[in-house]
Chain A
Amino acid sequence: DTEVTQTPKHLVMGMTNKKSLKCEQHMGHRAMYWYKQKAKKPPELMFVYSYEKLSINESVPSRFSPECPNSSLLNLHLHALQPEDSALYLCASSQDSNQPQHFGDGTRLSIL
């Protein structure tokens, strides 16, 4: 069982759609992360939020837009995605940005 909850678990969308991925944790963690993972590859860091402020953006295309409404929630807004964006999107949280991370189950995203 994971303490980081991600919804939806699966998402299929067209290239013109707008959708959002959601992530929630209630462990009081102050750092939250978005990763993208392709099959048989390690997670690639996309964004880091520390104390609800965006602290790292790994040069991610603007069609991915993160949002941190409060310390427990993290969203990833998707718009005009490309087929190569199909991947497992993982959310993680940690007590602070130098501490071990707890991952959610991920959202498996397919772009048609």
Chain B
Amino acid sequence: GQQVMQIPQYQHVQEGEDFTTYCNSSTTLSNIQWYKQRPGGHPVFLIQLVKSGEVKKQKRLTFQFGEAKKNSSLHITATQTTDVGTYFCAGLGTTDSWGKLQFGAGTQVVVTP
């Protein structure tokens, strides 16, 4: 079955530094979604990527979808304390598995001032 691997599991970042989290799927995805979950909170949708090679930016966050639609990355520049949380990628497979988002393990981000 479809699996989504995400690395790193933990990321300690100094405030102002950049970091990247990566996702890889064992199968081609119809789309990939990114969510952020703050400590004690619930996952909050950030972005959806649908097209091969797509790049989207949200302020300091840059999201990429690979050409083969099997991998994705989230790059955060100039990290701030508000970026603390766990970032999950979640892949959606083909039409017969719509609704079945496969979450990566998540990258837990800790920011030191």
Contacts and interface: CB of A to CB of B under 8 A. Distances in A.
User: Which bracket fits the contact residues of A?
Assistant: 20 to 34
User: Which bracket fits the contact residues of B?
Assistant: 20 to 34
A42 interface: yes
A31 B105 CA distance: 24
Given A101-B45, A104-B42, A105-B42, A33 B99 contact: yes
Interface string B70-113: 00000000000000000010001001001111011110100000
B43 A103 contact: yes
A31 B99 contact: yes
A8 B74 CA distance: 34
B99 A103 contact: no
B92 A98 contact: yes
Nearest to B92: A98
A34 B22 CA distance: 26
A103 B31 contact: no
A22 interface: no
Given A42-B88, A98-B31, A100-B33, A90 B43 contact: yes
A56 interface: yes
Contacts of A104: 42
B27 interface: no
B106 A56 contact: no
Chain B CB within 10 Å — which of A97, A100, A103 has the most?
A100
Contacts of B45: 100-102
Contacts of B44: 103
5 contacts: A41-B106, A45-B101, A48-B100, A90-B42, A98-B31
